[in-house]
Amino acid sequence: MKLTANKIAGLLRQHGYKLTPQRWAVLNVISHRHDHLTPAAIYDRVSQEHPGIGLVTIYRTLEVLAELGLLCKVHVEGGCRSYLMRRPSVHHHHLICSGCGRVVDFTDCALNELEQRLSRETGFEMKDHLLELYGHCQNCQKIA
Amino acid sequence: MKLTANKIAGLLRQHGYKLTPQRWAVLNVISHRHDHLTPAAIYDRVSQEHPGIGLVTIYRTLEVLAELGLLCKVHVEGGCRSYLMRRPSVHHHHLICSGCGRVVDFTDCALNELEQRLSRETGFEMKDHLLELYGHCQNCQKIA
DNA sequence: AAATAATTGAAAATTATTTTCATTTAGACA
DNA sequence: TGTCTAAATGAAAATAATTTTCAATTATTT
Ligand SMILES: [Zn+2]
Ligand SMILES: [Zn+2]
Ligand SMILES: [Zn+2]
Ligand SMILES: [Zn+2]
């Protein structure tokens, strides 16, 4: 189920945003694709059709569209980093307190079944996964 | 953390790395904590004890320690972004091709049970989660 | 103790993102 | 339709995060 141009237009206006050619150009680039693009990559593609549009506008447009819930953000390897001494030597994941950064490790991620099912359904060969749980630790619950 | 000190020393030497005071200082800062720290935060803390050590060295040390499997990397909100038109309006996640960036959405993340169990075990109040699966799509399997 | 290859710090370079500000424009409305 | 105004834009500067370069230093080997 695809969002029509009208729906998008309405959404923008509803929130007091204007419908500019620049925003259409960005939407045009991302709306027909099934892959994820960085701001710079979007800029490159937008530039091909509309050489006048600046990278700043791409950033601003993406922010607006994301705010309206029209976009998903994807985390990419190497994009962000914060470090932690590795404690379990085996495969594990982190439960992270958004308040203080405290981390609890857990080893039972139970994604095998999901991976297998999706592999069967999509033909993807599964390699890896990123899983992080966020919450507030007992300490930070008191504070907040 | 004396038990691991020898292990760490051995690991470094095994891989042809030297055991410098700078590396000890970094290890010292992260090894006793249960939270995650950015390079800048680690730099701040290291500086308190060893004002001479440069931020560049922190970066380089973290790279080495991560390579040796001594550290975990944590993704943090806002750290990295690549965008995608949102397709399912409901809660969902992405299966991403590491080759071409293609994305398949899936809505069945099945993390409730895990979250509940961990909440019970740790006292954390669960808020959110980040889940991404990585693999190679059929196209990219042929190419590779 | 000398040799040497790895490591370091300072500075410069690169990259990604945000802010500032003067100018333009979409959409409202007379 | 033309006028008005808040919102949006582009260029440039500012900020932030990371990487590269390079000469000087140092941990380890012999
Ligand atoms: Zn906390
Ligand atoms: Zn897992
Ligand atoms: Zn692919
Ligand atoms: Zn989910």
The SS3 call for residue A86 is coil
Are the beta carbons of A72 and B83 separated by less than 8 Å? yes
The distance (Å) linking the CA of A3 with the C1' of D6 is 28
A11 CB-to-strand D distance under 7 Å? no
Distance of residue B50 Cα from the nearest chain A Cα, in angstroms: 20
Q: How far is the CA of B144 from the centre of ligand 3 (A)?
A: 10
pLDDT digits (tens, 9 = 90+) for A69-94: 999 999 987 777 899 999 999 999 99
A80/B107 Cα distance (integer angstroms): 25
Taking CA atoms, A44 is separated from A26, A38, A53, A100, B53, in Å, by 11, 10, 10, 39, 40
**Residue B122 zone, left/alpha/beta (φ > 0; ψ -120 to 50; rest):** alpha
Q: Which nucleotides of chain D does any protein CB come within 7 A of?
A: 6-12, 17-21, 26-29
CA gap B105, B86 in Å, rounded = 9
Q: Which residues does chain B have within 8 Å of residue A109's beta carbon, measured at their own beta carbons?
A: 114
Confidence of residue A3 (pLDDT cuts 50, 70, 90): low
Task: Give the Cβ contact number of residue A2 at 10 Å.
Answer: 9
- Does B40 lie at the interface with A, CB-CB under 8 angstroms? no
Domains and CATH numbers, chain B: 1-88 (1.10.10.10), 91-144 (3.30.1490.190)
Report pLDDT digits (tens) over B28-64. 999 989 999 999 999 999 999 999 999 999 999 999 9
Helix, strand, or coil (residue B78): coil
Q: Which residues share a beta bridge with B133?
A: A129, B95
**pLDDT tops 90 at residue A1:** no
C26 closest protein residue (CA to C1'): A18
